[in-house]
Amino acid sequence: MRIRVHHATSYDYQFPAEGVVQALRMKPSDHEGQRVVHWRLDVDVDGLLRERRDAFGNWLHIFSADQPVTSLTLRVTGEVEVRDTAGVVRGAIERFPPGVFLRVTDLTTPDATLRDWAAETEPGETLARLHALMGRLHDDMSFDTAATNVATPAPEAFAHRRGVCQDYAHIFIAAARTLGIPARYVSGHLARPETDAQDAAHAWAEAWAEDLGWVAFDAANGVCANESYLRVATGLDYLDAAPMRGARRGGGAERLSVAVHARDAGFQRQD
């Protein structure tokens, strides 16, 4: 599938914000299952935009504004060729051995409840266990955009059994790690047929199965990633792979609006 992405993020500040800096992980990299056809990132205020790879090998753009700004819009357009690899991710940049992804982070520290729940996963082959884990998580949780926020740790979302794709991914990662399986967070896009803009990108998880390597699991949808999944950035948790992390001085209150279109370019050619 050829996935076309339009993505606009706008910040509005109450007062002019000084020293606005954004760390952006919005540009996907190639791997065996995906090839970037074109990709463009634009910012509507003057400043410096620098591109580099981060610690995990993700593309990272650092934008720093020249002057104080009252609003800032980031616009991404791109097209990526994706094929179905049954979730297996090969040929991506790997900077660390899988063992690193057993680390516990603030957002993925399990509590006793989550640990016990993970331990109930039937013993067996790693891949089978991961599928079982995904299935159980998909069944036990309800998708709810109001229950959590970007800073909610896995056990808290799990206690409510409610959350968004980020929470599903964190819980899946935390649980897999307690079973001794390396797991990591992926941010990206899921191509959807509907034409309405989404107000957020997508997120899922990858886990390490000895024979296959990294395999992508989307517990929120209960499937392994397929040709509708465009992988952008990865890391230990949301904070490593977040599309945007910003800082500023002053500026008062901030209003953020995000509009994401990710769809099959063959499906809708008119835009």
The verdict on 179 binding other proteins (CB under 8 A) reads no
Is-contact 125 132, C-beta < 8 A?
no
Contact 232, 28 (CB under 8 A): yes
> Cβ of 99: how many Cβ atoms within 10 Å?
9
Asked if 49 interacts with other proteins (CB under 8 A), we say no
Q: Does 57 bind other proteins (CB under 8 A)?
A: no
* 103 touches other proteins (CB under 8 A): yes
How far lies 37's CA from each of 3, 5, 40, 77, 81, in Å?
10, 11, 11, 11, 7
Written as one letter, the residue type at 206 is E
**Least distance (Å) between residue 104 CB and other proteins:** 8
Q: Residue 87 or 235: which CB sits closer to other proteins?
A: 235
Q: Is 99 in the site for other proteins (CB under 8 A)?
A: yes
- Binding of other proteins by 180 (CB under 8 A): no
269 binds other proteins (CB under 8 A): no
Among residues 14, 95, 142, 145, the one that binds other proteins under rule CB under 8 A: 95
| Contact yes or no for 5/80 (Cβ under 8 A) | yes
Q: If binding is defined by CB under 8 A, does position 252 make contact with other proteins? A: no
**Interaction between residue 96 and other proteins (CB under 8 A):** yes
Nearer to other proteins, 90 or 245 (CB): 245
According to CB under 8 A, which one of 38, 46, 97, 194 is a site residue for other proteins? 97
The Cα angle at residue 218 between residues 213 and 223, in degrees rounded to 5? 90
Show the binding pattern over residues 209-248: x = contacts other proteins (CB under 8 A), - = does not. Answer: ---------------------------x--x-----xxx-
Query: How many C-beta neighbours within 10 Å does residue 167 have?
Result: 30
Nearer CB in complex with other proteins: 83/103: 103
Applying CB under 8 A, does 256 fall inside the site for other proteins? no
Q: CB under 8 A: which stretch of 93-101, 123-131, 202-210, 221-229 binds other proteins?
A: 93-101
Q: Which is nearer to other proteins, 208 or 229 (CB)?
A: 208
Residues that bind other proteins (CB under 8 A): 19, 21, 23, 48, 50, 52, 54-56, 62, 64, 95-97, 99-100, 102-105, 236, 239, 245-247, 249
